[in-house]
């Protein structure tokens, strides 16, 4: 990952015109990031309508989300390396073009296959845009004060986009129809592409001598696709069927090949030695489990509100606002100050506890539930829990990692977000569908059967998050320098490979841990 080299560059103070151009460039990359963030939440509100329109089953519907998450997570690290090798502006424009074109095909999709395929291309575009955009910010703003301000704006857009997504999704679906949740990206993408050359400087292209680990990215993505497809299909064909077993074996073999390739490649996508860091490994596992639970909340929460409580699309978007508003407000700076006061590990465990309780509240929401009693408490608790959980997991993941690997460490934990969402959602969708079928066979009514399936998914989501909290509490240890995680000399995430997608916030630029300010260039 080459983003850290940008910290060494120095520039003379910018003239008034150049200064305006820099801030316009920031608005440009923030607009591109907003498209990615919106896509992580806006789709959930439209899922029931998409299901009815294109004939998705309860299980296959998860592929509308999973197709995006898999390619985004699988190619995120490779997208960051591409910016180093081929130029950040050029790669940023390629990602924008892919994402915008895929959005058009999503909006025009008349079949399940076309929508899922276009969503996969959207994810690839997002994986190219996110790291390139962050690198552009770092190389554009070299003065510490300006960089801190720019990263603060970036973090606010990344976290606040979730709030906009749930509300905008409800408005668009309720007025113009579900295709417009994708078509809304077209004007943003086209204008952003037109402004790239006037506003973004052409940057120096590194030598490609180190190589471009396309093989590694393809292997790990193919492995995860096979695993998710096996899990999604298991509810239909059976967990012990030949299809499920063969796909899981193929997934394991592909992952084994990925490990072998990474061990022998000169410049691997993921140097395996980095997993010697106990905190990094534990934190990535915790991130996978936590995001699996959070995506279960987004996915099944929208279905519960619309299919059980009979909310419209706009009502559903408004119902999600309490959680996303709390998440957006805390992720900007307040959560960092609280973590600074009480420490990383205590707040990590506290965040996981709040998340677990919120999911358990949703797991008992009745068919005739009310918003104030059965929805709002869980929404608020989830917003607070997620704000602390994600910030502290990122901080813990880089504790004890050598400074030269901080960018890779932050890229890995953000990749874990995407892959945890995809794999977790596949499992949850299968469990929910199985429970619904079982209740229907036992004579329960259609709505009660659906709600029973959602209860099973929420309960399993709570178990995922609780397990993440237990792992963090038991296995996270002191940093290699003997200080507590996030103590005197923490290794903090660099921007290389970091994304702010979906419902997960980025670490704010003014974060500090245990009394030591985190330098803005390492956020």
Answer yes or no: are the C-beta atoms of 162 and 42 closer than 8 Å.
no
Q: 63 vs 119, 225, 299, CA distance in Å? A: 9, 10, 11
Q: 235 vs 88, 229, 432, 434, 437, CA distance in Å? A: 43, 11, 10, 6, 10
Q: Are residues 284 and 246 in the same domain?
A: no
The CATH number covering residue 122 comes to 1.20.1250.20
Q: Are residues 283 and 227 in the same domain?
A: no
Q: Which residues contact 142 (CB under 8 A, 6 or more apart)?
A: 9, 10, 11
Q: Are residues 18 and 94 in the same domain?
A: yes
Single out the residue of 427, 455, 453 nearest to residue 440, CA to CA: 453
Which of 248, 264, 280 is the C-terminal boundary of a domain? Answer: 264
- 255 burial (CB, 10 Å; 0-12 / 13-18 / 19+) is middle
Q: Are residues 209 and 304 in the same domain?
A: yes
CA–CA dist 326, 384 (Å, integer): 6
Residue 14's CB: how many other CB atoms inside 10 A? Answer: 17
Q: Which residues contact 20 (CB under 8 A, 6 or more apart)?
A: none
CA–CA dist 118, 113 (Å, integer): 9
Q: Which residues contact 447 (CB under 8 A, 6 or more apart)?
A: 307, 308, 367
CA–CA dist 294, 407 (Å, integer): 25
Q: pLDDT tens track of the chain, all 523 residues?
A: 333 333 333 444 455 567 788 888 888 888 888 888 777 678 878 888 899 899 888 778 888 888 887 788 777 777 777 776 777 788 889 999 999 999 999 999 989 999 999 999 998 998 888 878 777 876 777 676 676 567 667 666 765 666 677 777 778 888 888 999 899 899 989 999 998 888 887 766 555 555 667 788 788 878 887 887 787 777 677 778 899 899 999 999 999 999 999 888 887 877 787 787 788 888 889 989 998 998 888 889 988 998 899 988 778 878 888 887 887 677 656 777 787 788 888 889 999 999 999 999 999 999 988 999 999 999 999 988 988 887 788 777 766 666 556 556 666 776 787 778 778 888 898 889 889 989 998 888 899 999 999 999 999 999 999 999 999 999 887 444 334 444 444 444 333 333 344 444 333 333 333 333 333 333 3
Domain residue limits at 254: 214-264
What is the signed CA dihedral for 165, 166, 170, 172, rounded to 10 degrees?
Answer: 10
- Counting the structural domains of the chain, the total is 2
Q: Are residues 13 and 91 in the same domain?
A: yes
Q: Are residues 98 and 239 in the same domain?
A: no
Single out the residue of 294, 307, 315 nearest to residue 458, CA to CA: 294
Give the strand pairing for 512-513 and 516-517.
antiparallel
Per the listing, tokens 């630029």 go with 509
């Amino acid at each position: 990952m080459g983003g850290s080299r940008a910290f060494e560059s120095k520039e003379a103070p910018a003239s008034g015109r150049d200064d305006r151009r820099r801030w316009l460039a920031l608005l440009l990359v923030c607009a591109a990031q907003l498209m990615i963030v919106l896509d992580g939440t806006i789709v959930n509100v439209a899922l029931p309508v998409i299901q009815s329109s294109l004939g998705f089953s309860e299980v296959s519907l998860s592929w509308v989300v999973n197709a995006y998450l898999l390619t985004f997570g699988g190619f995120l690290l490779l997208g960051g390396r591409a910016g180093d090798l081929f130029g950040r502006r050029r790669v940023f424009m390629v990602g924008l073009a892919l994402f915008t074109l895929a959005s058009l095909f999503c909006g025009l999709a008349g079949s399940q296959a076309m929508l899922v395929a276009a969503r996969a291309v959207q994810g690839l575009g997002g994986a190219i845009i996110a790291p390139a955009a962050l690198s552009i910010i770092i190389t554009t703003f070299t003065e510490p004060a300006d960089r801190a301000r720019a990263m603060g704006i970036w973090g606010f857009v990344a976290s606040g986009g979730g709030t906009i997504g749930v509300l905008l999704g409800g408005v668009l679906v309720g007025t113009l129809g579900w295709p417009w949740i994708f078509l809304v990206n077209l004007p943003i993408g086209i204008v952003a592409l037109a402004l790239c050359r006037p506003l973004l400087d052409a940057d120096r292209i590194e030598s490609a001598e180190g190589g471009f680990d396309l093989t590694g990215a393809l292997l790990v993505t193919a492995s995860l696709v096979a695993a998710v497809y096996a899990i999604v299909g298991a509810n239909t064909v059976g967990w012990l069927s030949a299809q499920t077993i063969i796909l899981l074996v193929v997934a394991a073999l592909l992952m084994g090949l990925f490990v072998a390739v990474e061990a022998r490649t000169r410049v691997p996508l993921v140097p395996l030695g980095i997993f010697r860091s106990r905190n990094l490994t534990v934190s990535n596992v915790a991130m996978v489990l936590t995001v699996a639970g959070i995506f279960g909340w987004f996915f099944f929460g929208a279905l519960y509100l619309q299919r059980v409580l009979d909310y419209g699309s706009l009502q559903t978007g408004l119902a999600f606002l309490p959680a996303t508003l709390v998440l957006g407000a805390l992720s900007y700076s307040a959560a960092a100050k609280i973590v600074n006061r009480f420490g990383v590990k205590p707040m990590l465990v506290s965040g996981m506890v709040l998340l677990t309780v919120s999911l358990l509240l949703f797991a008992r929401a009745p068919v005739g539930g009310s918003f104030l009693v059965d929805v709002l408490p869980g929404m608020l608790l989830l917003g607070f829990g997620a704000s602390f959980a994600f910030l502290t997991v990122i901080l813990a993941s880089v504790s004890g990692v050598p400074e030269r690997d901080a960018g890779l460490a932050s890229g890995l934990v953000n990749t874990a977000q995407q892959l945890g969402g995809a794999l977790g959602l596949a499992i949850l969708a299968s469990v929910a569908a199985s429970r619904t079928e079982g209740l229907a066979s036992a004579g329960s009514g259609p709505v009660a059967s659906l709600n029973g399936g959602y209860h099973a998914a929420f309960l399993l989501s709570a178990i995922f998050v609780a397990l993440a909290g237990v792992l963090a509490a038991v296995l996270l240890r002191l940093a290699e320098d003997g200080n507590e995680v996030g103590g005197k000399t923490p290794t903090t995430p660099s921007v290389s490979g970091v994304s702010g997608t979906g419902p997960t916030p980025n670490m704010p630029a003014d974060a500090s841990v245990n009394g030591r300010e985190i330098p803005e260039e390492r956020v």
